[in-house]
Amino acid sequence: MFLEELYYEKIGSVRLLFDSYNELGFCRGSAIFRAGGGGQKVIEFWHIQNVDPAPTFIANAVKRFEAANPDYKVNINITANDAYKQKIAIAVASNQLPDVFMSWTGGTTNEYIKAGRIIDLTSYMNTTGFKNKLLDAAVTQATVDGKIYGVPVENVSIEGVFYNKDLFARYNIKIPTTIAELEAACDTLKANGVTPFSLANMTQWTGLMYYQVLPTRHGGLEPFAKALNGTGSFEDPAFVWAAQKIQDWVRKGYFNEGFNGLDEDSGQSRTLMYTDRCAMQVQGNWFVPNVGGENPDYLKKLGFFPFPADETGTGNVKTVTGTMGDNFYHISSQCKYPEKAFEMLTYLLDEQSLKDRIAIGRIPPVKGVKLTDPVMQDIFNQVQQAPDIQFWYDQSLTNEVAEVLKTASQELFGLTITPQEFVRRWQAAHSAALRQR
């Protein structure tokens, strides 16, 4: 399927939406795409880092680039995570992209490449030596057919179990190393009036955080890799087993009530932990800076452990699920100044930017990074010891398949579909996408 048609299918009435965006000033020359003054050359830059202080230190990095390049002006446009997904889909479909923008790599980046929307950055990465500064695994994640298409910037992000150390100590719960031990811990918490897991699943990807680690623990990386390339299927027993496990946990009351109606972006899942109503949350390590910004005192209670091993499965407990760069920045094929756009991106990981990111609890995807937060250091140690990584499920898939997966997973958690129907729906969407390649 042509990329434009794919995005129209995903969004629905995207033509109407795009017309509306034009009326609101979405196109070039509008209030969003501001022209530079004094004959300056303009670089348009979109990102999603909308929670303070991240917008400030990105703006400061851009100012350092502009000071070194006074002939250039960078216009920054910031959009919240979920709104950005729709906004960038419209921009890609209409071929009106900014000069620099981000994605999470995976299936989305492959679509951009096939449609000629982004440029190969390999020569810039090599001639500047910037590639050597970055973690090898992060560069690999942005590489397709031997060419580098994205610059990893924001964060090495993996998922694991964040937990309340005080509650674990109060009820004599040891860090679980197997899923059986995790379930025993959940039973102990429930017996003492504490809900084991916190979840706000209105945005759907949050429930997927709990699900996607389970097939990897049960069957390793192979089932997903084979299903993704079409030599296997998402109806593999590993995916069915994981779906059954999720529904078992829901029926046992391991999750807070009303989770499918709660909003993650407003922090409702974290509030349940701050008030000791829930003891654990399976989440990415952006959880730490979020807590630090909302309730820094809670950091004293916060602990982290890797998702436990499945004692009945074949997966490697040291395999991590996540991403080696989180936000990866691309340069549009329409960019008039790609060399300077790339230079601007390097300022996002200069020495001051590294200090800024580390200070708010992030793990920049660079070699030799020194972290100050003990929880983040534990997470980074796990990354460095990992033999391999399972990329986020939704980002590995094409956009339309990811939407089917997220919607079906929400229904799985809501007990409105069976595990078998869940995997059938997922596989049917993926098979259709494979046929359209």
Work out the average pLDDT over 353-360: 92
Tell me what the mean pLDDT of segment 215-244 comes to.
97
Q: Is the pLDDT of residue 16 over 70?
A: no
**Cα 105 to Cα 83: distance, rounded to the nearest angstrom:** 18
Do 157-322+392-435 and 3-149+327-364 fall under one CATH topology?
yes
For CA atoms 300, 308, 103, 89, the dihedral sign is negative
Percentage above 70 pLDDT, the chain? 91
- Domains of the chain by residue range: 3-149+327-364, 157-322+392-435
The pLDDT of residue 368 is: 84
The domain defined by 3-149+327-364 folds into D-Maltodextrin-Binding Protein; domain 2 (3.40.190)
Q: What is the pLDDT of residue 24?
A: 34
Backbone angles phi, psi at 219, to 5 degrees: -125, 5
Token reading at 51: 């929670």
Does this model's pTM top 0.75? My answer is yes
Query: pLDDT tens digit string along 262-292?
Result: 999 889 999 999 999 999 999 999 899 889 8
Q: Give the whole-angstrom CA distance, residue 3 versus residue 88.
A: 13
302-305/195-197 β-pairing: unpaired
Please give the class, per CATH, of domain 157-322+392-435. alpha beta
